[in-house]
Copies of this chain bind each other. A is one copy, B any other.
Amino acid sequence: MRVALLAHEQFPDRAKTAQGILRYADYDVVAVLDRDTAGDRVAEHVPDVQDAPIVAGMDDVDESIDALVIGIAPIGGGFEESWRPDVRAALERGCDVVSGLHYFLAEDEAFAALADEHGGEIWDVRKPPEDLTVSEGVAADVDAEIVCTVGTDCSVGKMTATMELVEAAREAGHDAAVIPTGQTGIVVEGWGNPVDRVISDFTAGSVEQMIVEKGDEHDLLVVEGQGSIVHPAYSAVTCGILHGAMADRLVLCHEAGRERIHGYESFALQPIPTYVDLYESLAAPVNEAEVVAGMLNTRNVDGDDAAREAVDAFADELGGPATDPIRFDAAEVLEAIV
Residues on B with beta carbons closer than 8 Å to the beta carbon of A281: 277-278, 281
A50 beta carbon closer than 8 Å to chain B: no
Chain B residue at minimum C-beta to C-beta distance from A207: B236
Oligomer: number of copies: 2
Chain A contact residue count (CB 8 A cutoff) = 42
Residues on B with beta carbons closer than 8 Å to the beta carbon of A134: 233-234
Report which of B233, B240, B267 forms a contact with A285, defined as CB distance below 8 A: B267
- Tell me which of A191-199, A212-220, A289-297 binds B: A191-199
Contacting pair A200 B205 (CB below 8 A): no
Residues on B with beta carbons closer than 8 Å to the beta carbon of A267: 137, 285-286
Chain B residue at minimum C-beta to C-beta distance from A196: B201
Contacting pair B278 A203 (CB below 8 A): no
Beta-carbon contacts under 8 Å, A165-218 to B: 195-205
Alpha-carbon gap, A204 to B199, bound state (A): 13
Within the complex, the shortest CB–CB distance from A327 to chain B, in Å, comes to 28
Most B-side CB within 10 Å, residue of A203, A230, A231, A285 = A285
A270 beta carbon closer than 8 Å to chain B: yes
A135 beta carbon closer than 8 Å to chain B: yes
Mask: chain A, 255-275; 1 = CB below 8 Å from B; 0 = not:
000000000101110100010
Besides the contacts A200-B236, A278-B282, what 7 more A-B pairs have beta carbons closer than 8 Å?
Answer: A134-B234, A137-B266, A196-B201, A203-B236, A203-B237, A236-B240, A270-B285
In the complex, 15 of the A-B residue pairs with CB atoms within 8 angstroms, ordered by the A residue number, are A137-B266, A200-B240, A201-B234, A201-B237, A203-B236, A232-B244, A232-B286, A235-B240, A235-B286, A236-B237, A236-B240, A239-B239, A267-B286, A270-B285, A277-B281
